[in-house]
Structure 1
Amino acid sequence: MASKTAKDLTAGTAGGIAQVFVGQPFDIGYYLSKRMQTAPKGTYKGMMDCAGGILKNEGPLAFYKGTLTPLLGIGICVSIQFAVLEGTKRFFTQQNLSRGRGGSDGKVLRPGQLVAAGALAGVANGVVSGPVEHIRIRLQIQSSNKPTYNGPFDAIRKILGSHGIAGIYKGQVATLTREAVGYGAYFCAYEMLIQRHIRVNNVRREQVSAAYAVLYGAAAGYALWACIYPIDVIKSRIQTDGFAGPERKYASTLDCVRTVWRTEGVGAFTRGLGPTLIRSPFANGATFLGFELASRALAHL
């Protein structure tokens, strides 16, 4: 019989694959949001101006820069998230049973437990997602006319050679902060919606329909971005900053926050939000649907 962790990893991978297939057509919007986040104030008047400028100056293939990295890494990232989440939920379930809480089976977790489980899942995921997103954004913001890196593997090789493992993990403080805060909200929102559905409709988890899994996943995605978008902006700024010397603008994460606030104002922390909000419900709804369906299929193995 397959172990619970192996099943969680497999189901998480299924969720990641679903996220890639559904989210990929919307990744042009994600790409535009990164360009808008990291460009100097006033560079673009809005999303359409950003898209038009890139199309004119760099051609249509520019919209697909950096897509190989998430295709390679997203399955790993999502599988880690769900494996740690489900393992932590089982730990809290045992705690509830020993204390006579959480219903007859101990599975009705409190919001604090769900936030803690999600935050831990986010931190574990951040170990992989940090480098993946760093390489991706480096490729996305470079000019097509004079590219610094010829693909993700070339970027990894050059950054490792010049700056070591610390260069690959540039922006990791902001990444881990974002993942802990965001996934705490993300998984708490989803699990509370699922728990409420089970309670109100008097059904088992496996009886929750696919449509509701998608709906609750979409809602969880909005909870995620509502909490983390300003942190994501800071992460993007640091990960596109120079590594050393005069090319480096920010001395630390806190210095980045202060500098952006002072020079560009509060609006800089929400720049590029529109494309992200368009993509989010589709990608996150698909993620949870993929995980739930795979979990049900693996339940009897």
Structure 2
Amino acid sequence: MYADQKASALQQPREMAKQQPSSAGAPKSSALQLAKDVFAGTCGGISVTLVGHPFDTLKVRLQTQPMDKPIYSGVIDCARKTVQWEGLGGLYKGVASPLAGQMFFRASLFGAFGSSKRWLATNADGSARPLQTADFYKAGAMTGFVAAFTEGPIDFYKSQIQVQIIRSKTNPDYKAPYTTVSACVRATLRENGARGPFQGLGATLLRNTPANAVYLGTFEVLKRAAAERMGTAPTELPAWAVLSSAGLGGIAYWVVIFPVDCIKSAMQTDTITRSQRKYTDIPTTAKLLWAEGGVRRFYKGFTPCIIRAAPANAAMLFTVDRVTAALSSK
């Protein structure tokens, strides 16, 4: 088993190496471990939101603006007009949704990631085994699937608020049905009940499962490789090594899955009235987007996304990594 046996959510769990999962202290230990995963993940989630939300706003707006009458000519123009029309606060449109949902989303994300690794590190007879390279990617895929059920509603509400300016600029008579996340929540629940927040869930699942396999798996593998080269434990890696591994993991996430993210954005920013939706399912959405511009249409908004990927994801995973290590050392 490789040397990183101290950390939990982002490192191989220590208890799996030292005791059987069925031991008397396991339930309490597992609950404490999950609490640490959640706390560390929440801290990381807040950091990635504060660093990355402006880029996310630009991405969503470029992805969803009309192709026949575009409002923004590119990422710089989008940033300029956003600030001009809405002030600096315009870059943080919809930020209340990801901030409010961080505990729930990160609880599912890093709770699932930590639990997945602990499960994969346990043989059928209950004995511990070292995690192999493929295990990190498997854990990432399982994590992405589980986390989609909390990330989907967060992204949905955020995206709905982010695109209101596009609709008002393309149609002078348009009156935004809601301008705050709380008003959007009320409107969607009133219109569609409990299913309302899960608009575009299929596309979220299709994006998150492979994307998180690449994202979290790449981060873990790069960090372990760096530790082996430096002859140290992953918990003792210098900040630049952790940040580099996290940043590259974030870039890999978006390079692999960006076209699916375009489909997800189109579905989540569609009207909440089911009978009036244009993007009714994934195949229909893909077909309509292709008709608008072929392959290039699926890469609208890629520039701000890839600019955001390294610093935002580096900030998040570095925060999670260090908080987890600090909690596990106590």
- Same fold, TM exceeding 0.5? yes
CA distance in 2, matches of 1:96, 1:110: 19
Indicate whether 1:90 and 2:118 are aligned.
Answer: yes
Aligned residue identity for 2:59: S
Q: Residue 241 of structure 1 contacts residue 248 of structure 1 at CA under 8 Å; is this kept in 2?
A: yes
In 1: Cα distance, 2:36 partner to 2:275 partner: 49
- Aligned partner of 1:102 in structure 2 is none
* Matched residue, 2:64: 38
Shift in CA distance, 211/58, structure 1 to aligned 2, threshold 3 Å: closer
**Map of 1:81 onto structure 2:** 109
Tell me the amino acid that sits aligned with residue 65 of structure 2: A
In the alignment, which of 129, 144, 147 is matched to residue 125 of structure 1?
147
Q: What's the TM-score once normalised by structure 1's chain length?
A: 0.89
From 291, 298, 301, the counterpart of 2:320: 291
CA contact (8 A) 2:258 2:298 kept: yes
Deviation at 1:57, TM superposition (A): 4.8
Instruction: Please name the residue that 2:3 is paired with.
Output: none
1:223 maps to 252
TM-superposed CA distance for 1:203, in Å, is 1.5
Distance in structure 2 (CA, Å) of the matches to 1:109 and 1:81: 21
Match of 2:297 in 1: 268
- Is 1:205 equivalent to 2:234 in the alignment? yes
SS of residue paired to 1:129: helix
Q: Classify the secondary structure of the residue corresponding to 1:95.
A: coil
**Per the alignment, do residues 92 and 32 of structure 1 end up closer, same or farther by CA in structure 2, a change over 3 Å counting?**
same
Shift in alpha-carbon separation, 1:200–1:106, aligned structure 2, 3 A = farther
In 1: Cα distance, 2:304 partner to 2:59 partner: 6
From 55, 69, 75, give the equivalent of 1:47.
75
8 A contact 2:267–2:280 mirrored in 1: no
Instruction: Note if contact 2:219-2:245 (Cα within 8 Å) is conserved in structure 1.
Output: yes
SS of alignment partner, residue 19 of structure 1: helix
Counterparts of 1:180-191 in structure 2 under 5 Å? Answer: 180-191=209-220
For residues 60 and 295 of structure 1, what CA distance do their matches in structure 2 show? Answer: 33
1:191–1:61 Cα change, 3 Å:
closer
| Alignment CA distance shift 1:55-1:194 (3 Å) | closer
Q: Determine the C-alpha separation between the residues in 1 that align with 2:209 and 2:118.
A: 19
Match of 2:267 among 227, 233, 238: 238
The CA deviation at 1:242 is 2.3
Q: Which moved more, 1:30-39 or 1:72-81?
A: 72-81
Counterpart amino acid of 1:30? Answer: D
Structure 1 position 157 matched with structure 2 position 179: no
- Deviation string for 1:98-122 (max 9, x for gaps)? 79xxxxx7334232x2222101111
Q: Give 1:83 shift.
A: 1.4
TM-score for both structures, normalised by structure 2: 0.82
Instruction: Specify which of 189, 196, 201 is matched with residue 172 of structure 1.
Output: 201
CA distance in 2, matches of 1:126, 1:148: 26
The answer to which of 31-40 and 73-82 deviates more is 73-82
Report the Cα distance in structure 2 between the residues aligned to 1:212 and 1:204, rounded to whole angstroms. 12
Per the alignment, residue 283 of structure 2 pairs with 254
Q: Distance in 1 between matches of 2:248 and 2:124?
A: 27
* Residue of structure 1 equivalent to 2:25: none
Question: Does 79-88 or 231-240 show the bigger shift?
Answer: 79-88
- SS in structure 1 of the partner of residue 122 of structure 2: helix
Tell me which residue corresponds to 2:132: 109
1:181-220 Cα shifts (integer Å, max 9, x gaps): 1101001101111121222222112111222111100000
Q: Deviations over 1:269-299 (max 9, x none)?
A: 0011111111111111111111111111111
The letter for the 2-side match of 1:261 is W
Contact 1:97–1:106 (8 Å) recurs in 2: no
Most deviating of 130-139 and 248-257: 248-257
Aligned-residue CA RMSD (Å): 2.3
The unaligned stretches of length 5 or more in structure 2 are 1-27, 169-173
Distance 1:281 1:67 in 2: 20
